[in-house]
């Protein structure tokens, strides 16, 4: 601060002196009233203006200091007000939830994001409650406070909470405390991020991974079991043909075959669930499939359940297996029937839908956005709780009493839909019914006509030469016996290497290569390529218990329209397929 003396002069009486000075560039005048005693006046006579000047400057300094203090106080008040406004703007505009509570948990303040998060209209609407009332799992609060006491704050804590209307809310929480000078807690400051959608996607992803693992296990077991069933079924057919009509063993043999066929149906369901079942896909109009199943549906659900169908008039087409889609509808209808033991309403609806990126964000099972066809099967039954929904697609999971249900109905639905490139979602609450929504990708092709293939009365025969390649010895011997009994000449090989040698020596005389798809070393398609180099006229028929994903990952893959026979197969099915392939035009 700069102080400079300007002038000292007497104004009026002899005892009224004025001192003027500059303080920080501002003119400050101090008026001094002087009434000195004679002896003092005599002592300072001749120096009185200087004395008064010094006194005036001192007063000017004191006054300037007071003014400076006042100005600083004003500046601090302005800065504090601006800081508070800046904090309030940040607090109000923050996308994360921010709340302030007292030590007892009463809500003192909340930003708009937090109010939206909890479904509150205002802080005042929550005045009579504590924040602890929003915990879905009250035991999480002691865990939160334990971390706070240990670290002085709580960081990255996942809390299961509820909105004001009771809906679940999952948040990632940070919490700090504001204390007074003695260290007592005045308030808690919470910073919350809504992770409800993230948690939902994580649960769905874990469920999908679990279903994938179960599917791989089920598919592997079913594939190996198929080979055994093929032997049982094939030799059973051969043995039945050798027995006379009045032989007492025919009845027992028929029971063996019936049991084998039931087991084969079970493995087909397992393969369907694991997305390894062969599908004969073509373009379909679901508005034709659904009404065709109506008659059977009415027999399945009974007279005490009303069946209502609502079909979109301009429904698009899907590419799928007609029989498998009918199986999906049947299984869902049976599930609905069992949920309505006292009757109710079963509703089946078709419609065109478009699934966008937002839908995919919360439904990771959908492969890509775009146009889909939806088939909804809804009922007015007892519904399902969250725990049942979490397990409903697992194989052998059932809520029915022992002996009433295999637990494969919904697992089969899941497998068929997934294998067809679609997804299935369920909406249900205990006591409020259930709605399954199946989404299949829409295709623009015109629907193909359904061909009804009528089988011949007798299994066809032939005289051609067939190269049989199968690594399962018992199954290979059974197939060879069946083919030779029908007039064919069979050259067999148990490994791809042996088959390759046979191709090089007898390939020119081979009319049909009958081979497994997946084999150690050389795949069926690779073997077929070698045969084509020797004999381009030879036909190929693939057999396997694996298809689609497993064939694509372990073999070379099959092109659409490739001749294929799914294991296990019957004696007649094998002979008819062989004849069809041999007789097909070039």
Tokens 């094998």 belong to residue: 574
Record the tokens describing residue 530, joined without a space: 């070698």
User: Rounded distance, CA 180 to CA 217, Å?
Assistant: 62
pLDDT along the chain (586 residues), means of 10: 47 51 48 52 56 62 69 71 62 72 87 86 82 83 84 86 86 89 88 84 70 65 75 82 84 83 68 54 86 78 86 89 82 87 89 76 66 90 80 68 60 81 83 86 59 48 90 84 90 85 83 84 82 87 65 52 76 86 86
Q: Is 493 exposed, middle or buried (0-12, 13-18, 19+ CB in 10 A)?
A: buried
Do 494 and 468 form a contact (C-beta atoms < 8 A)? no
Backbone dihedral angles phi then psi of residue 440, each to the nearest 5 degrees: -120, 140
Q: Is 198 left (phi over 0), alpha (psi -120 to 50) or beta?
A: alpha
pLDDT at 467: 92
8-state DSSP, 455 = P
Instruction: Identify the helix (H) or strand (E) that includes residue 139.
Output: none
Do 510 and 465 form a contact (C-beta atoms < 8 A)? yes
pLDDT at 512: 92
User: Rounded distance, CA 458 to CA 506, Å?
Assistant: 30
3-state secondary structure 310-369: ECCCCCCEEEECHHHHHHHHHHHHHHHHHCCCCCEEEEEEEEEEEECHHHHHHCCCCCCC
Whether residue 320 has a cis bond before it, omega within 30° of 0: no
pLDDT tens digits, 426-463 = 888 777 788 888 999 998 654 433 333 334 445 688 99
State how beta strands 512-516 and 465-469 pair: parallel
8-state DSSP, 180 = -
* Nearest to 287, CA basis, from 307, 312, 306: 312
As beta bridge partners, residue 479 has none
pLDDT at 322: 79
Task: State how far the alpha carbon of 121 is from the alpha carbons of 113, 137, 233, 274, in Å.
Answer: 11, 24, 70, 49
- Mention every residue, 6+ apart, whose C-beta is less than 8 A from residue 538: 507, 510, 511, 512, 513, 531, 532
Report the C-alpha dihedral over residues 532, 533, 535, 541, rounded to 10 degrees.
-20
* Nearest to 322, CA basis, from 235, 414, 244, 420: 420
CB contact burial 2-15 (16+ within 10 A = b; e otherwise): eeeeeebeeeeeee
Tokens 């057999």 belong to residue: 543
Backbone dihedral angles phi then psi of residue 233, each to the nearest 5 degrees: -65, -45
pLDDT at 318: 92
Task: State how far the alpha carbon of 448 is from the alpha carbons of 443, 452, 548, 555, in Å.
Answer: 12, 12, 22, 30
Dihedral (CA of 494, 495, 500, 501) sign: negative
Other C-beta atoms within 10 Å of 388: how many? Answer: 15
Instruction: Identify the helix (H) or strand (E) that includes residue 292.
Output: helix 286-292
Please work out, in degrees rounded to the nearest 5, the angle formed at the alpha carbon of residue 360 by the alpha carbons of 356 and 364. 160
Instruction: Identify the helix (H) or strand (E) that includes residue 41.
Output: helix 38-44
Do 433 and 381 form a contact (C-beta atoms < 8 A)? yes
Task: State how far the alpha carbon of 172 is from the alpha carbons of 152, 188, 364, 508, in Å.
Answer: 18, 16, 22, 71
Q: Is 585 left (phi over 0), alpha (psi -120 to 50) or beta?
A: beta
8-state DSSP, 31 = E
For the residues of 68-136, what is the DSSP string, one character each? HHHHHHHHHHHHHHHHHHHHHHHHHH-SSEEEEE-TT-BEEEE-HHHHHHHT-S-SGGGTTSBGGGGBS
pLDDT at 582: 92
User: Rounded distance, CA 512 to CA 94, Å?
Assistant: 72
Its pTM stands at 0.41
pLDDT at 214: 64
């Amino acid at each position: 601060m700069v102080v400079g003396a300007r002038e000292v002069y007497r104004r009026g009486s002899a005892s009224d002196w004025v001192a003027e000075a500059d303080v920080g560039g501002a003119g400050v005048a101090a008026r001094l009233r002087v009434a000195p005693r004679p002896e003092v006046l005599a002592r300072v006579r001749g120096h009185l203006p200087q004395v008064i000047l010094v006194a005036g400057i001192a007063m000017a300094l004191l006054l300037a200091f007071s003014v400076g203090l006042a100005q600083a106080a004003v500046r601090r008040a302005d800065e504090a007000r601006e800081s508070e406004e800046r904090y309030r703007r940040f607090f109000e505009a923050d996308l994360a939830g921010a709340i302030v509570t007292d030590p007892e948990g009463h809500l003192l303040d909340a930003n708009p994001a937090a109010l939206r998060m909890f479904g509150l209209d205002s802080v005042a609407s929550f005045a009579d409650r504590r924040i602890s009332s929003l915990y879905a799992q009250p035991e999480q609060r002691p865990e939160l406070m334990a971390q706070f006491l240990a670290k002085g704050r709580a960081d990255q804590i996942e809390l299961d909470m509820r909105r004001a209307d009771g809906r679940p809310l999952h948040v990632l929480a940070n919490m700090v405390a504001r204390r007074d000078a003695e260290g007592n807690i005045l308030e808690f400051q919470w910073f919350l991020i809504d992770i409800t959608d993230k948690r939902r996607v994580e649960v769905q992803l874990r469920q999908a991974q679990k279903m994938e693992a179960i599917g791989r296990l089920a598919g592997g077991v079913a594939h190996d079991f198929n080979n055994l069933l093929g032997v049982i079924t094939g030799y059973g057919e051969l043995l039945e043909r050798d027995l006379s009509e009045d032989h007492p063993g025919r009845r027992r043999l028929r029971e063996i075959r019936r049991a084998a066929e039931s087991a084969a149906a079970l493995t087909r369901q397992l393969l369907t669930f694991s997305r390894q079942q062969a599908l004969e896909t073509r373009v379909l109009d679901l508005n034709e499939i659904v009404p065709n199943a109506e008659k059977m549906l009415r027999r399945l659900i009974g007279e005490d359940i009303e069946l209502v169908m609502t079909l979109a008039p301009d429904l698009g087409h899907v590419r799928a297996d007609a029989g498998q889609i009918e199986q999906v509808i049947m299984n869902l209808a049976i599930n609905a029937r069992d949920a309505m033991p006292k009757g109710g309403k079963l509703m089946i609806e078709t419609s065109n839908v478009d699934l966008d990126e937002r839908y995919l964000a919360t439904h990771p099972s959908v492969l890509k956005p775009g146009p889909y066809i939806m088939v909804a099967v809804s009922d007015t039954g007892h519904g399902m709780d969250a725990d049942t929904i979490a397990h409903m697609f697992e194989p052998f999971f059932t809520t029915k009493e022992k002996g009433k249900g295999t637990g494969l109905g919904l697992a089969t639905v899941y497998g068929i839909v997934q294998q067809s490139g679609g997804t299935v979602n369920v909406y249900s609450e205990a006591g409020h019914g259930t709605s399954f929504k199946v989404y299949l990708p829409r295709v623009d092709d015109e629907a193909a006509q359904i061909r009804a293939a009528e089988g011949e009365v007798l299994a066809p025969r032939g005289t051609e030469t067939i190269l049989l390649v199968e690594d399962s010895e018992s199954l290979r011997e059974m197939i060879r016996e069946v083919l030779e009994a029908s007039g064919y000449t069979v050259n067999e090989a148990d490994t791809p290497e042996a088959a390759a040698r046979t191709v090089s020596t007898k390939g020119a005389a081979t009319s049909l290569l009958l081979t497994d798809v997946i084999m150690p070393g050389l795949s069926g398609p690779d073997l077929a390529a070698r045969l084509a180099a020797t004999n381009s006229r030879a036909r190929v028929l693939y057999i396997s218990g694996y298809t689609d994903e497993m064939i694509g990952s372990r073999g070379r893959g099959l092109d659409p329209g490739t001749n294929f026979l799914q294991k296990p197969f019957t004696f007649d099915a094998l002979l008819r397929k062989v004849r069809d392939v041999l007789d097909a035009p070039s």
